[in-house]
Structure 1
Amino acid sequence: MPLSIFGFRAMWSPALIGVLVFFTVLYFLITTKWRNDFKYSEPLKKGEAISFVFAMIMLYVIIGSPIDLMSHIMFTMHMVQMAFLLLFIPIFFIIGIPNWLWKVVINLPYVKPVFHFMTKPIFAVFFFVFMFSVYHLPVVLDYIKLDETAHGIYTFVLFMSALFMYWPLLNTVEGEPAMKDINKFFYIIANAILITPSCALIIFSPTAFYATYTDGETWMKAMALCVPSNTLQGLTLSGPELFTNMTPLEDQQLGGVIMKIIQEIIFAVILGRVFMVWYKNDQKNADKMTEEALKERQRLSQNQFH
């Protein structure tokens, strides 16, 4: 059955386009025209602008395009949505905001102590894994999928937890605590390990345990989060099986596998980048130490002749 039966609004979320365009325009006004109003600012870099715009585009693709509608129909697409929303987009969001603007935000009253606490590596990784794991408990996910306010609040907090988790890895703001390259290895590995039990529970469960993806009546109520009520009332649907050939259990298992695969790919890329940065810094330090050793040797030789 085609997704078009749910209407244009459900498929393309025009209101979200307006919101994201507003924040994108605001971003460019702050980083270009209004930046001189701040005590310390720098010209916007091309890479920063591209990263931020890309993050906004991906945010729309993930939560505004038909992918969002499909995430309410299939658990597999829900996990694809979660993987990109939590593990991919935050990277470009952090990189896209100039360091001077991050410093302005972090140093706001009441923000600095909270931000520094939330981005402490150990707390940040455990908080993210906790929020993700709790979200995918059947009783929690089924409740959130049926309440628009709870869904919006929890998704926002979950996204913020992802930003806090990535901050120790990506932070380059002067004066902010920086994690050593070697510690970043353990941080990434710990993150991958800690999220595994939640994915394993989803993958290896002998039964499909989310009512919002298995029970027709509950599923219809959950669809109200993204489909206008007047459109939904005009449809006679029995459940998500009308849109997929997979059984609910197969859908659930595939979703868990995809989440884990996407996570491993993204973390592997980050791990590779961290290794390259560490290797280059190590080479520079080695060359610097060799140069200083040679200078010291020359100085000692000259002293011997005098």
Structure 2
Amino acid sequence: MKVKNHLKILGLILFLFAFLPIQTFAHNPEVRANGDENLFQQYTWFEILNPILLVSLIVVYIVYLRTMRKISNTRLGERNLKKKICFLLGLLTIYISLAGPLAILSNNLLFSAHMLQQSFMYIVMPPLILLGMPQEFYQLLDEKLSKPRFLRILKSPLFNLLLFNVLWSFYHIPSVYEYFSGQFILLEILHLVLTASAFLMWIQVFAPEDKINEMSYIKKIGYMFANGILITPACALIIFGVM
């Protein structure tokens, strides 16, 4: 099977995984604790450990390893090992975020747990996953985003920089956050959109210079500096929202 076909299969698996309903347990208002006993005693081991999520992550990693093995026929060495470790750490970050104590605490609206979960999912996880992807992935993605003209905007660093920060700031407006926190389906859609926008933002940094965008190393540093400035309004909303 050609490398492109393996990459398409990996992409399909990742796409289907993003819509896995069990992930939304970490934000589901219908399974929040409401008793006086110990918080974790109100959940079953299945709800805490989230084994379906764990098995799904293992399947994703197996498909990833098969894809990397096909690519490694022409590119062997330590570099691929580092990519595999980064991808594995990215999947582990997903599991830590959406299962176990952090997910339970976040689902019960503990603010510090929610923000740690957000940091893992939008700041830590996407770079790890992208660092684990082979260069062929960026080449294929560049081709897919170049053919339809309306998709070319997704290659724009400025557009993706603004997209993520505007969405993240909007989500943390207190009234908006409270509304979405009680709407299971809308909350799931919002998190999927935020995750996609986070990947689009980070891919501008980790894509090779001749793929996706034409930013040099120095420009990418400036891009991340601008991102730090643009995320400030969201931080202000969060700080004043909990005062």
TM-score of the superposition, structure 1-length normalised?
Answer: 0.60
Tell me how far apart the structure 2 counterparts of residues 89 and 160 of structure 1 sit (CA, whole Å): 12
Q: Letter of the 1:71 partner, please give it.
A: S
- Give the corresponding residue for 1:12: 49
Amino-acid identity (%): 25
Tell me how far apart the structure 1 counterparts of residues 118 and 179 of structure 2 sit (CA, whole Å): 17
- Give the corresponding residue for 2:5: none
TM-score of the superposition, structure 2-length normalised?
Answer: 0.74
Q: CA deviation at 1:96?
A: 0.3
Q: Letter of the 1:154 partner, please give it.
A: L
Alignment partner of 1:170 out of 203, 206, 222: 206
Contact 2:145 2:155 in 1 (8 A): no
Q: What pairs up with 1:63-212 in 2 under 5 angstroms?
A: 63-73=98-108, 74-108=110-144, 113=149, 116-172=152-208, 174-205=210-241
- Give the corresponding residue for 1:28: 65
SS in 1 for 2:215: coil
Q: What pairs up with 1:209-224 in 2 under 5 angstroms?
A: none
Unpaired stretches in structure 2, ≥5 consecutive residues: 1-37
Of the two, which has the highest radius of gyration?
Answer: 1
Tell me how far apart the structure 1 counterparts of residues 147 and 53 of structure 2 sit (CA, whole Å): 27
Tell me how far apart the structure 2 counterparts of residues 76 and 111 of structure 1 sit (CA, whole Å): 43
Unpaired stretches in structure 1, ≥5 consecutive residues: 206-251, 254-306
Contact 1:145 1:151 in 2 (8 A): yes
Contact 1:62 1:68 in 2 (8 A): yes
> After superposition, what is the alpha-carbon deviation per residue over 1:118-165, rounded to whole angstroms, capped at 9, x for unaligned?
231111111010110111123332232223322222112111111111
SS in 2 for 1:123: helix
Q: What pairs up with 1:266-305 in 2 under 5 angstroms?
A: none
- Give the corresponding residue for 1:294: none
Contact 1:59 1:89 in 2 (8 A): yes
Q: CA deviation at 1:113?
A: 4.9
Contact 2:86 2:131 in 1 (8 A): yes
